[in-house]
Amino acid sequence: MMNEFTSIFLIFLVLGTILQIWLAKRQISFVRAHQDAVPSAFSQTVSLSDHQKAAAYTLAKTRFAQKMLIMDTVIVLLWTLGGLLEYFDQTWRSLDWSPLWTGVGVIISMMVVSALLDLPANLYTTFRLEAQFDFNRTTPRLFLTDLVKSLILLLVIGVPFTALILWLMEHAGPFWWFFVWSAWIWDSVCYYYGRIQPLLHLCLTNLNRWKMKS
């Protein structure tokens, strides 16, 4: 028999899923209604064929997202009521590690499994959906390389950062949330200046070179 918390959880989960499906349907209806005419603000720069192509891509991607929304809801149920989260928790507890590293093991395991569960959808989106509209520029080798890099970053950065958060939650007192927030901001800034900014600089540099050649 379900307790009160489980009932509330299921109600919010179902309502949230229904709301997102309804919003997706509204977007589909809106795109369909405007796919045969380029907005006046872009009429001089975007052709009708490109506009219709973008609309068709949006429709296909939104429909696929609706299906994945149902799948994500099922996965959430497997993690919670299905006992998958409890299974990982008990498995790591059986190793008799300290509570901190047991927590790290559970969280990292969840992240790895979640990434693997998302892999089929990412493969379909990249090599089927985007390729169908000539939007894909990713080769299988590049996709695999990025996947391996993401897993390595998860271990190299995710493990110590997760350990830091759990340590702060245990030892930083009632204001642990402030220190966790500060650590999150610091990590985001380091990630931006370490990876995002150099990438943006490279893209802008190449764009300026292309403009000068043109």
What is the pLDDT at residue 154?
A: 84
pTM score? 0.74
The string of pLDDT tens digits covering residues 54-105 is 999 999 999 999 999 999 999 999 999 999 999 999 999 999 999 999 999 9
Q: Which of 141-175 are b and which e, b meaning 16 or more Cβ less than 10 Å from the residue's Cβ?
A: eebeeeeeeeeeebeeebeebbbbbbbbeeeeeee
Strands (E), 20-78: none
Q: Which of 20-34, 105-119, 129-143, 179-193 has the lowest mean pLDDT?
A: 179-193
Question: What proportion of the chain, given as a percentage, has pLDDT over 70?
Answer: 86
Q: pLDDT band at residue 168, thresholds of 50, 70 and 90?
A: confident
In this prediction, residue 211 has a pLDDT band, given cuts at 50, 70 and 90, of very low
Measured CA distances, 135 to 77, 98, 123 (Å): 34, 48, 14
How is the chain split into domains, by residue range? 1-35+48-82, 92-171, 177-214
Q: Determine the Cα angle at 111 with ends 107 and 114, to 5°.
A: 135
Q: Supply the pLDDT for residue 31.
A: 94
Rounded to whole angstroms, the maximal C-alpha distance in the chain is 71
Q: Which of 1-10, 15-24, 154-163, 173-182 is the most confident on average? A: 15-24
Chain mean pLDDT for the chain = 85
Q: Rounded to 10 degrees, what is the CA torsion of 143, 147, 152, 157?
A: 110
Q: What angle do CA 110, 184, 205 make, to 5 degrees?
A: 100
The long-range contacts involving 192-201, CB below 8 angstroms and separated by at least 24 positions, are none
